[in-house]
Amino acid sequence: MDDQKNSNFEEGHSAYRTGGFHPVYIDDIFNDHYIVCNKLGYGAYSTVWLARDTNCEHGHEHQYVALKVLSGECYYTDVDIFEREILRHLRDNGKPTMPGYPFICHLLDDFEITGPYGKHVCLVLPLMGETLRSFGALFQRSLVPYVTMRRFTIEIALALHYAHNQGVIHTDIQPNNIFVQIRDRTLVERYLQEQKPPDQDREVPYRPIPSCPLQNYYFTRHESDSINGFSVVLGDWGVASWKNKHLSENIQPVALRAPEVLIKAPWDETTDWWNLGAVVLEVYCAIRMFSGMVSKPAEKSSHYDVRMHLAEMVDFFGPFPRTLLAKGDPELVKDVFSEDGTVSAFPQLHRPELASEEIMEGLNQEAREEFASFLRFVMKLDPSQRPDAEQILRHPWLDALRDKTPMNPAVAAQTATPPVKPRSYTTDTGKSLWRRLTPTFFLAATIVQLAVFQWPWRWTLSGAPVLTLFLLHGDNSGNRVLPFCHIWTLFTTVNLAYAVASTSWLLYWVFAALCYPAIYITCLFQYRTVGNTTRWILRGFLKQLHFVDDKIALFDIPALEIDTEVDGLLVLRGISLSLSTLSFTVHGVEVGIKLSNGLELAIQTERVTVSMFRSIEVDDCFANIKGGKQPLTLGQSRSMSMDEGASSIGAVTDRNKPQVSETKAKMTAGNPPQDSSNAAAYKAIKKQPLHSDIAVQRYHSTLELLDASNTISQARADLRQRLTSIASTDHHDESALRAAICSQLHSKPSVPNPPQRSVKVTALRELSSPRMRRFMHRLPMLLRLLLNPLSYFHPVTIRSTTVTASGDWIKSILVQKVFKRYDSSEMELERLQESVSSWVTDAHFTLGLGSMTGHAHVPLISSSSILCRMEFDGVVAHRALKESSIYEILKLRGVDASFVVPTFLLPHHEHIIPDKINSEADAAECGAPVVANDETESDTTTVKMAVRGHLPATLDQDLLNFIALIVKHSKLLELDQSPSPMDDDVKGFGEFTDAINTKVKASVKKAVMGGDQWLAKLAGKALKKLEVIDGDIGYSGGIPVDLNKYRLTGWQEVEGEKLLP
């Protein structure tokens, strides 16, 4: 009898078998520092234990943790779960300042153990109080307070927003998986004193012990009265899935399943939003929205029927859309649904309405309607119509985001603890009725006045009463434009403005011209039908654009072929413009530039976001310098092309067309875009279907295709799969991972995803109007007036910049610049060159710059200069051996650079360029002879530059040895020069000194060659100081700029003098 009772106790004795649970005893030590103290609970796939971490001091936040021991069936089988990998991903790919990050139960540690029933994965998680399943018991009638429930909903929505952005779907949102956070962790000591675990006998077969959760020990009785302090996190990711890889297609608790899961249609992250709505009602009202249970009159028991479950959904949210049914299981849809989308077996159910008192107990009518509108907003039957996290948080029931600014990490601190202001729902019925009837009264009064008087006709024609009526109706429906302004303030402002405008015919028509667009904008904001109609019409006029909600997307953009000062190709794979946030995002930027023969620069980034009058944000930027067997600078490349009689800069001739085509073919791996005219490239953009569902599906599928074909994301995915094979890489070192990604991109084409067509820069120049060029030439101050606010309101931030060059290219530079000609008989120099070359050959060298913030200031006054400043948070250099390892060779705390650019270098500012110095005229006036001097003849200006590196700095010993070899080589070359030039006629003493010089050089050479240890020790001592010095080391100088091409524009002679300086 005892054995039978024990087999049904807690997880049951039968759970402890091969592939099942691991037997855990009190005081067991896991991973050498986790001591088991008590049992917190269990689940279908794990047991959870309270453990003390001996590595943490007393009072530490994680002195006590939750130790989750998974069953042996979770891993090391044919179908492993994703819990450990997903928790690592959520922890390592975000920051605590990101919205939603604090509301996820993050992984602290993980390890593996081997027990009597197999191998088990153990997860260490922060200690939590209790779940929302039992949290309601603290309050009267087991109902969580209304304000608290709204705050909990905001926190879970933020957690899902973060998880979805990381490519993770929870799939199991239920009260048992939402945990209340502990506010005072010192209370755990009282729990350990009062809740003693039972004794366990290790000599007999293992028996489960009762669970003892922290239900009444994570807050004081005084704290329980202050419910606003409670916060929740989303946990238990045991059955979570990736967006692109599902653990199972049969997900979610049965009663909480989304409609697409029930009819076996494809599902995605929107299933979590359906779960959220169902859980909110269940936790707050202690009632399940759906049960699916059917009982026959002759039977006392009931059973689950999926048809009843679907019928209950139809009862609350209406018939199933045909677009969703077309994606489900054909046989199930045919057997269950009628033609109108209802369930044929249960055509009508007699249940209370969603906003009724029976379901939402304790709320007045206004609160019930607002709560029900939120549930209908989140729980759309069609998954494609469900809102995202930002739209959910803007819903009036939550009111967590009151402005139009999208969620971003800058406001995460405020969003992480969203203020939920309690509302007063004690408004009497008469006031609520007056609010609903106000639009009707206003419309009736307007019609009566139009019938009786003449003056209202002019008032109505102006649009003022129409705008007022829509504002009143929007306020009644709870979806009004300008919700932060009181309705009567708007009412008074509109009609007072008309009263002033009616005194003048000019002001009257100005008012009318402004009022009608305001009516359209108000309707566009308040009514979905107007928005859908507007998008449908705009798609008809602009068929090459994708209109999705408030976004305009443009894809298949022709490449920009650079054919001016250098040859290159610029590809923008997609652009989406958000009208509500006044921002646009470039999806995928690929740039290839030919610096010289055999030398290319490739730049790629996944995303660039431009927020109008706020900022420009660039994702991780990767640059690669490719080729360079015979490295040339840009200036040398140009001079060589001019000497060979090539086409002049900016010209497009038949002679250089083969060279440009060859460059495009090389950059695109033999798939160059077709050179097209402006009109042909515009027509080549694919047309967009007009149907809304097709537009949304096409938009998202296109974005997924862009992300899947992006070489950066491909390299990142490939790197994750083979991280274990990279021996010397810290898997949590972001700079090393970026270096590995950039090293992989080095072998890829410079422009891996070229479009079908391209347009040349010279062809686009012809589109600019000659009148506009003439206008800008005569009024250059307008250019500065435009650039001044643009530069001020658009600071540039780059998440990171990683530049990679091959060791072969560095070796070729050393051959050209350092390894100069020497006598082949000098074996020491030859061996030294081989030692230097061996360190750079067959390796990639990567320079990683941390997050960059750039500011620029263009002055309005032409006498001032343009100021530019860039700051980099950290500099790290890596050496990557091909297919082997990556390790750090240099690290700086940071770098900043500033540039001062003369204003006359701007276009159309040649009139303020300083006069050229005429040395011949000055010499003639002085009567001095004219001496040819290249420096005085050059017509240049200087861009001032200052670069500072922030110490401390760390240098790898291999890099120090490499520098020592370079220094040694340069000294030997100096010593290897020919003897001091003496007159050949001098004999005797001259020959004697030559002999002395030869012997001295030989001795010095021997000392230098044998001084490896001494040089390394000296360099190590000097550079070791850099690791402890806290200061700056910098360089300042000038960048010469040739002014000839700025002077010889010819505009001033053609257009005349300037109207504004």
Torsions phi, psi for 912 (to 5 deg): -110, 10
Is 50 exceeded by the pLDDT of residue 694?
yes
Percent pLDDT > 90 in the chain is 26
**Paired strand residues for 615:** 611
Confidence of residue 687 (pLDDT cuts 50, 70, 90): very low
Confidence of residue 549 (pLDDT cuts 50, 70, 90): low
Residue ranges of the annotated binding site are 68
According to DSSP, the β-strands at 843-849 and 46-53 are unpaired
- Distance CA(1004)–CA(1007), nearest Å, equals 5
pLDDT tens-digit readout, 595-609: 877 788 999 999 999
- In angstroms, how far is CA 356 from the centroid of its own chain? 42
- Tokens standing for residue 763: 């062809």
Is 70 exceeded by the pLDDT of residue 729?
no
Average pLDDT over the chain, rounded to an integer? 78
Dihedral Cα 99, 102, 108, 113, nearest 10 deg: -90
Which alpha helices (DSSP H) does 478-544 contain, by range?
Answer: 487-501, 505-526, 528-541
pLDDT at 630: 43
pLDDT at 643: 43
What's the average model confidence in pLDDT over 915-923?
57
- Distance CA(40)–CA(47), nearest Å, equals 8
pLDDT tens-digit readout, 786-813: 999 999 999 999 999 999 988 777 777 7
- Distance CA(559)–CA(847), nearest Å, equals 28
Closest CA to 174 of 81, 66, 255: 255
pLDDT tens-digit readout, 465-483: 999 999 988 887 767 787 7
Structure-token match 């003496």, residue found: 982
What's the average model confidence in pLDDT over 241-258?
88
Closest CA to 157 of 274, 286, 238, 240: 274
pLDDT tens-digit readout, 996-1045: 555 545 554 554 445 555 555 666 666 667 777 788 889 999 999 988 88
Percent pLDDT > 70 in the chain is 74
pLDDT at 303: 83
pLDDT at 670: 65
pLDDT tens-digit readout, 55-83: 988 888 889 999 999 998 888 777 778 88
Is 60 exceeded by the pLDDT of residue 989?
no
pLDDT at 563: 81
What's the average model confidence in pLDDT over 571-575?
90
pLDDT tens-digit readout, 971-980: 555 555 544 4
Give all strands (DSSP E) within 254-299, no chain letters. Answer: 293-294
Residues in contact with 323: Cβ distance below 8 Å, sequence separation at least 6, in sequence order: 382, 384, 693
Confidence of residue 90 (pLDDT cuts 50, 70, 90): very high
Residue count (the chain):
1061
What's the average model confidence in pLDDT over 283-292?
83
Residue ranges of the annotated binding site for ATP are 68
Closest CA to 559 of 594, 604, 590: 590
